[in-house]
Amino acid sequence: MRVDVVNGFLGSGKTTLIKNILLECPGREKIAVLVNEFGETGIDGELLGDSGAEVVELANGCICCTLKADMKSQIAYIAGRYKPQRLIIEPTGIATIGNVLGVLKSLSLAEHIRRINVVAVLDAANFSADYRANPLFIKNQLAAARIIVFNKCDKIDSQEAARLRSIIASINKEARVLFTTYGKGVERELEKAGSGAPEEDMDYCNAAGGGTSFLFNGEEEFEGGELGQFSSVLSGCFDPLKLEEFFRGLSGGDMGQVVRAKGIFETKTGDWLIANYSRGEIDLARGDRPYSASRVVVIGRNLDREELERRLDGCSV
């Protein structure tokens, strides 16, 4: 099977992009999706669950480190059980791409994988800040990518897009660079990339385009303090206005330094609400079907679990 790794920082738009891939792909191929969540409670797997693909979720850890062995066994399981022609993998937002590729290229998986495409998804509006904070981490993501996607381009102007393009040119000249919103149009590029011969694949990630060597010396891990997580499966129904207040409050700092939060909630009218918090912005959207349970995941530093629980309690009706 061919493996497409959709890689990118927390909240950059990986799940949204995968949803669009599944909508845009012609439907000839059998596709499986492996979603890895840093949080103890998975959310993305269920959001992708009605896409027609087989979705397998690995939660509570990172496939590039603590869940390395699970990743290998899950890939072998997916290959044997579903026999997909294509496997899309969404690592956590803090996965080190070198480690993920190390697992994919391990001998025990060689019989299952014929080609690997890495798609780097970047939040265009926050790229510069992310690059400054974690230069090696981001550089490796870019160097390993066959397709570099600047997502969330509704938040930047054409001047900034030109600046971003010139930065990429100095890191990876061979990658296809796309500027998009909500991950649209990436499938077209993946189709082209996916048709290449397996031999072309061999050392792509060791010496990516532009002559920039893939940097892999142990310093490329995500830095910026240990991230913790708070996850909860919730009972009862929730008030949308109170939930909005809760998510808006996450940037205040009194529940910890929140980097990312997301949740699915059943409301008092029986509808479902999908909530996202990323980079201080919140997005509340109506779910298009009932989900198995209300739940929330908050990722950040020094999280105050009691305060998070108390405020969430206050959102129920």
Ligand X SMILES: Nc1nc2c(ncn2[C@@H]2O[C@H](COP(=O)(O)OP(=O)(O)OP(=O)(O)O)[C@@H](O)[C@H]2O)c(=O)[nH]1
Where on the chain is the footprint of ligand X (CB under 6 A)? 8, 10-16, 44, 93, 151-152, 154, 181-182, 260, 262, 276, 278, 283
Cα dihedral 301→306→308→314 (10° resolution): -170
Q: Which lies closer to ligand X via its Cβ, residue 79 or residue 276?
A: 276
CB of 258 to ligand X, least distance (A): 12
Q: Which lies closer to ligand X via its Cβ, residue 151 or residue 231?
A: 151
CB of 233 to ligand X, least distance (A): 17
The kind and range of the H/E element at 57 are strand 54-58
Residue nearest to ligand X (CB): 276
Q: Residues of 1-39 as b/e, b for ≥16 C-beta within 10 angstroms? A: bbbbbbbbbbbbbbbbbbbbbbebbeeeeebbbbbbbbb
CB of 19 to ligand X, least distance (A): 8
Q: How many CA atoms lie within 13 A of 173 on its CB side?
A: 7
- State the distance between the two ends of the chain, measured CA to CA, in whole angstroms: 47
Q: Which lies closer to ligand X via its Cβ, residue 117 or residue 276?
A: 276
Sign of CA dihedral 256, 258, 263, 268: positive
Q: Which lies closer to ligand X via its Cβ, residue 115 or residue 262?
A: 262
CB of 182 to ligand X, least distance (A): 4
CB of 166 to ligand X, least distance (A): 21
Give 227's contacts (C-beta < 8 A, 6+ positions apart): 38, 94, 259, 299, 300, 301
Q: Which lies closer to ligand X via its Cβ, residue 20 or residue 140?
A: 20
Q: Which lies closer to ligand X via its Cβ, residue 232 or residue 276?
A: 276
CB of 80 to ligand X, least distance (A): 27
3-state class (DSSP) for residue 123: strand
